[in-house]
DNA sequence: CTGGATCCCGAATGATACTG
DNA sequence: CAGTATCATTCGGGATCCAG
């Protein structure tokens, strides 16, 4: 994904960053600290290595994620949130997470009792 | 859009709500208070009435927006953010807005000087 | 051989245009 | 305004490549 040049408002820019099925989840995972591709792949159920790499690449282009390469054997690469941009995004995602939780609770309380 | 039944994490739910090109912008506009369809259409450049209606409908289904119908002449319908859900979303969007602003400023400060 | 990364392509989904 | 057609973007599978 290329970064857009024209925006009506800055919100659109940020929305671009977390657009897509996986990006919010990846960022959300990375709040726990830096981790390898394989760990992310294990933690995020349903994602393929390919998707993960694609999305991480885009997040890096936007400057919200970065990576460290350890030249050892086996080769290891760790991904992490950038400071302050990546970390800042977690603030927004935290609220979204809470909204989601509240939504589910609220919905549950209205749901018919299942016996 | 139908609400998903299966989630890995609540974040996905909220992400569904602001998914799409226009929803965040619509919500963001509505933070200023209730307003009519035509006002929204004027304020959000580039949106068609059809898109606007579609997206508003989805936001209402999710419970983040609601509408009041005034039975007068001419008929008027005002859309507004729900309490507390819709208002809560504005908190998240505010952070995203700020991230977008910072991103642009930062990018600008690094850009080559144009003479 | 292992883990990281890219390419190609069809399928699914989303956005806009068109039309009555 | 709603229904449909068209166009663009995204998702995902799988093959493949590169580097220790």
* A10-108: in CATH 1.10.645.10: no
Rounded to 10°, the helix A85-110/B85-110 angle is 170
Picking from B13, B24, B95, the nearest residue to A103 by CB comes out as: B13
Contact B10 A89 (CB under 8 A): no
HSE of A95, CA atoms in CB hemisphere, 13 A: 18
Residue pair A61/A3 in contact (Cβ under 8 Å)? The answer is: yes
Sign of the dihedral through C-alpha A80, A82, A83, A89? negative
Per-residue pLDDT at B96 exceeds 50: yes
Residue pair A107/A100 in contact (Cβ under 8 Å)? The answer is: no
Burial class (CB in 10 A: 0-12, 13-18, 19+), A63: middle
Contact residues for A2 (Cβ-Cβ < 8 A; gap 6+): none
Question: What is the C-alpha end-to-end distance of chain A, expressed in Å?
Answer: 48
Residue in chain A nearest B88 by alpha carbon: A99
pLDDT band at B84 (very low <50, low <70, confident <90, very high): very high
pTM: 0.90
Picking from B12, B46, B103, the nearest residue to A25 by CB comes out as: B12
Distance B23 CA to D10 C1' (A): 18
Is the CB of residue A71 less than 8 Å away from at least one CB of chain B?
no
Question: What is the C-alpha end-to-end distance of chain B, expressed in Å?
Answer: 48
> Which has more confidence, B108 or A81?
A81
Residue B67 CA: distances (Å) to CA of B20, B32, B79? 21, 15, 4
Taking C1' of C17 and every protein CA, the nearest residue is: B48
* pLDDT tens per residue across span B12-65: 999 999 999 999 999 999 999 999 999 999 999 999 999 999 999 999 999 999
Q: What is the mean pLDDT of residues A71-98?
A: 92
Contact B8 A25 (CB under 8 A): yes
Q: Is the CB of A73 under 7 A from strand D?
A: yes
Chain centroid, CA B60 distance in Å: 11
Which nucleotide's C1' is closest to A53 (Cα)? C5
**Phi and psi torsions of B102, nearest 5°:** -60, -40
Q: Judging by DSSP bridges, how do beta strands A65-70 and A76-81 pair with one another?
A: antiparallel
Per-residue pLDDT at A28 exceeds 60: yes
Per-residue pLDDT at A115 exceeds 50: no
Interface of A with B in 41-70 (CB under 8 A): 44-46, 63
Residues 29-58 of A with CB under 7 A from strand C: 36-38, 49-50, 53-54, 56-57
Provide DSSP, B58-102: HHHHHTSEEEEEE-SSS-EEEEEE-TTHHHHHHHHHHHHHHHHHH
Structure tokens at A75: 């080769």
Q: Which of A24, A91, A92 is the best mutation test for B, with the most CBs of B within 10 A?
A: A92
Taking C1' of D14 and every protein CA, the nearest residue is: A50
Structure tokens at B10: 């609540």
């Amino acid at each position: 994904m290329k970064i857009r040049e024209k925006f009506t408002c800055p919100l659109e820019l940020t929305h671009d960053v977390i657009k897509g099925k996986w990006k919010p989840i990846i960022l959300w995972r990375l709040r726990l600290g830096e981790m390898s591709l394989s760990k992310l792949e294990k933690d995020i159920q349903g994602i393929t290595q390919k998707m993960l790499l694609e999305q991480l690449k885009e997040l890096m282009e936007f400057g919200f994620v970065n990576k460290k390469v350890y030249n050892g054997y086996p080769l290891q690469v760790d991904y992490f949130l950038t400071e302050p941009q990546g970390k800042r995004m977690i603030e927004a995602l935290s609220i979204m997470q809470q909204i989601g939780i509240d939504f589910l609770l609220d919905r549950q309380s209205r749901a018919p009792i299942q016996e």
